[in-house]
Amino acid sequence: MPPQSPALIATLVSAQGLSPNDLTTASDAIAAAGGVPSATSAFDPPHATDLVIRGLSRPQARAALESALPHLDVIVQPAAPTRRKRLLVADMDSTMIAQECIDELADFAGLKAEIAAITERAMQGELDFESALDARVAALKGLDATAIDRCLAERITLTPGARTLIGTMKALGCRTLLISGGFTAFTGPVAARIGFHAQVANLLHIIDGRLDGTVAKPIVDSAVKRDTLIAERATLGLETADTLAVGDGANDIPMLEAAGLGIAYHAKPKAAAAADAAVRIGDLTVLLSAQGIPRSEWVSD
């Protein structure tokens, strides 16, 4: 007899609540793709249910379910004795916060449209990240550094679920790290506001109270994000399966691929395709459901 296919767990998540028809649709989609749906576990009814799947690869199961259930978030991963992570590494801009900091900062210099266009292309993976960062920072040379504090106070908002995600993970003993290709002037306050253990980002040079138009090198790029996750994992003595990463842009892809579970959050197409799973509908608390953590254990804002 051929070896039995490894089991997968597909977690269906909806803040509004799953319907019986959603489970039927999921099972039918898996069967139509050639898989075998079996046991279900509503570990957080009516918001999150696990469906056990055999006979399909992870990408096959994900594609079938995302196509059949466009109104839900679907996280497919290998079945394991425990799926609660012990290291969470998160991108900041458009992931843990709703904005791109450099675009908002550029608005104080009257350059938002110009800078945002470069940011978008960089996040789509169309431009070299370091060159794009240098160009955007150079354009801000001479901007009064007080604009950073104004930007933080007036423009930057946390992504829904950010504090609940990090608060819950910390309460469960998970190490949390915020890492960004942006700037420590933003990651420091944001990390403190959300509750991260630590943060890593680029250093903007400021001279005589004004932006100098340069950033310290080497920069935090996609390779540094990946290497930081791997180094943190090694320091903690963890296995790859113990790690979770979340991000939205092309520069997050190596980090997402290095994690035991890489989740793209309302992401650019390249990042969503490269990640193990993608949050398309809900907020950051979907990452808790992905780990089988019910709302009864969440640490609310």
Q: What is the pLDDT of residues 158-173, one digit of tens each?
A: 999 999 999 999 999 9
Q: Classify residue 62: in a domain, yes or no.
A: yes
Helix (H) or strand (E) holding 181, with range, is: strand 175-183
Quote the number of domains for the chain.
1
C-beta neighbour count of 21 within 10 angstroms? 8
In a domain, 21, yes or no: yes
Question: Is residue 52 domain-resident?
Answer: yes
Tell whether 185 is covered by a domain: no
Q: Which residue has the higher pLDDT, 80 or 156?
A: 156
| Element housing 245 (H / E) | strand 243-247
pLDDT over 90 (residue 6): no
Tell me what pLDDT residue 300 has.
Answer: 84
For residue 23, pLDDT beyond 80? yes
Distances in whole angstroms, Cα of residue 49 to Cα of each of 19, 23, 83, 135, 245: 10, 9, 15, 46, 22
List 44, 93, 252, 276, catalytic entry: 93
Backbone angles phi, psi at 35, to 5 degrees: -100, 175
Residue 149 is among the residues annotated as catalytic for this protein: no
The answer, yes or no, to whether residue 2 has pLDDT greater than 90, is no
CA 36 to CA 204: how far, in whole Å? 53
Q: How confident is the model at residue 4 (pLDDT cuts 50, 70, 90)?
A: low
Mean pLDDT, range 285-296, rounded to an integer: 98
- The answer to whether residue 70 is domain-embedded is yes
pTM of the model: 0.95
Report whether pLDDT(149) > 60. Answer: yes
Catalytic status, residue 91: yes
Question: Does residue 154 fall inside a structural domain?
Answer: no
Residue with tokens 């938002």: 112
Catalytic residue among 91, 103, 242, 252: 91
Question: Residue 69 is part of which domain span?
Answer: 1-79
pLDDT of res. 81: 83
Q: Is residue 71 in some structural domain?
A: yes
CATH of the domain at 14: 3.30.70.260
With contact defined as beta carbons under 8 Å apart, do 171 and 200 qualify? no
